């Protein structure tokens, strides 16, 4: 007699990236606030904008990439990854352009510091999710 999971196929749990995103947002706000107290409001806002420029496209990619799962959806999974990566690239371009066009007092150093801070958080968060799933 076969088990129910053998009959239907073993389900692979989707990674839980929402927790990582929430931690990144909280850390971004905390560090921006702290550094804003030292270097001023323009620095804090620029750092927040840089972090959000990294976070929004990554959230879009994550949504697209993990919408489908399973062997029967292999083609959809592959297409979703390509769609997610293309959308992420375009969103990065559009968001950077919007900040440079519409924000008057942008601190470029803070903008890129926020962007890199969130990218590093994404990498560490993804590594943590992968490590947690393998245990």
pLDDT of residue 18: 78
Domain presence at residue 47:
yes
Domain presence at residue 4:
no
Domain presence at residue 76:
yes
pTM for this model (two decimals): 0.80
CA distance 102 to 91: 16
In angstroms, the Cα distances linking 121 to 21, 74, 108, 115 are 9, 29, 20, 10
pLDDT of residue 120: 92
Domain presence at residue 92:
yes
pLDDT of residue 89: 97
pLDDT of residue 39: 96
Q: How many domains does the chain have?
A: 1
Residues of the chain with pLDDT under 50: 1-7, 9-10
Domain presence at residue 2:
no
Domain presence at residue 12:
no
CA distance 102 to 65: 31
Domain presence at residue 13:
no
CA dihedral 26, 35, 113, 59 (to 10 degrees): 20
pLDDT of residue 20: 80
Half-sphere exposure of 61 (CA within 13 A, CB side): 19
């Amino acid at each position: 007699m076969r088990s129910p999971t053998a009959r239907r196929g073993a389900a692979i749990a989707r990674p839980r990236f929402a927790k990582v995103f929430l931690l990144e947002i909280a850390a971004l706000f905390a560090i921006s606030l702290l550094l804003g107290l030292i270097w001023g409001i323009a620095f804090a806002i620029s750092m927040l904008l840089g972090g959000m420029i990294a976070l929004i496209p990554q959230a879009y990619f994550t949504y697209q990439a993990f919408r489908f799962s399973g062997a029967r959806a292999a083609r959809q999974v592959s297409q979703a990854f390509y769609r997610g990566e293309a959308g992420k690239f375009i969103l990065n371009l559009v968001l950077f352009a919007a900040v440079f066009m519409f924000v008057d007092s942008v601190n470029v150093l803070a903008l890129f510091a926020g962007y890199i801070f969130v990218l590093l958080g994404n990498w560490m968060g993804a590594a943590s999710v992968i490590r947690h799933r393998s245990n």
